[in-house]
A = this chain, B = another copy of it.
Amino acid sequence: MRLLQNLQTATIDNLLVESTTHTLGAGSVLFEQGDEPQYVHFILRGSVALVGRSDEQEAVIEFFGGSEVLLTPAVILKRPYLVSARTVAESRIVQIPAERFRQIAGRDHALTTALTLELARHWRMLVVQMKDLKLRSAAQRLASYLLSRCENPGRPIMLNEERRILATRLGMTPESLSRAFRALAEVGVTSRGRTISIGDFERLRQFCRYDDLT
């Protein structure tokens, strides 16, 4: 996991000594909106959605995948969670007691630095998404999401979430997502099930005015 990559093994051992590791099926709940944080969650494998709820409605704020650390802000600040966390596919998770994590971070500069980098990366994810929501249409948001998901061009994208879940992450309904996919077919995107191929990257980038400032 990236956060721990450059740490001394002593620190890592120290973090993990009271930790537990679980393999959870899709749809498992790691914590609920409003809870007081008990653990820091490391995602070893799989995919976890942060989901916000208001008035019976739910929307995914963001997905987090393997090698990422979950929602440390609430843990750091000792505040209730603003969102729930649910696995979206089978996932392997390490849980470290929050208090232990805070204590070690209080002493270990390398860990705190790594934490800062992780938070900075996560901040930028949300900023990118915020720009999408405020400046782009539904179809453009989907295009933008697909482009960001595609690590090696040529190989098709495998979604690891259901479309109705993805729809909420993109700020639309499943029906609108369905139509967005049809709109993208016009610019060379083919999709069957959870497998999606981008025919012409440049065209798709232009379609959604993709700005690659990563």
Q: What is the interface of chain A, defined by CB distance below 8 A to chain B?
A: 33-34, 50, 52-55, 57-59, 61, 72-74, 76-77, 79-83, 105-106, 109, 112-113, 115-117, 119-124, 126-131, 133-136, 168, 171, 209, 211, 213-214
Contact call B54/A136, Cβ cutoff below 8 A: yes
Contact call A52/B136, Cβ cutoff below 8 A: no
Considering the chains assembled together, what is the distance between the CA atoms of A29 and B82 in angstroms?
Answer: 32
Considering the chains assembled together, what is the distance between the CA atoms of A120 and B75 in angstroms?
Answer: 9
**Chain A, interface SS category:** helix
Considering the chains assembled together, what is the distance between the CA atoms of A117 and B78 in angstroms?
Answer: 11
Q: Which of B57, B82, B105 contacts A127 (CB 8 A)?
A: B82
Q: Which residues of B contact A122 (CB under 8 A)?
A: 123
Q: Which residue of B lies closest to A57 (CB)?
A: B135
Nearest CB of chain B from residue A209's CB, rounded to whole Å = 4
Considering the chains assembled together, what is the distance between the CA atoms of A80 and B211 in angstroms?
Answer: 11
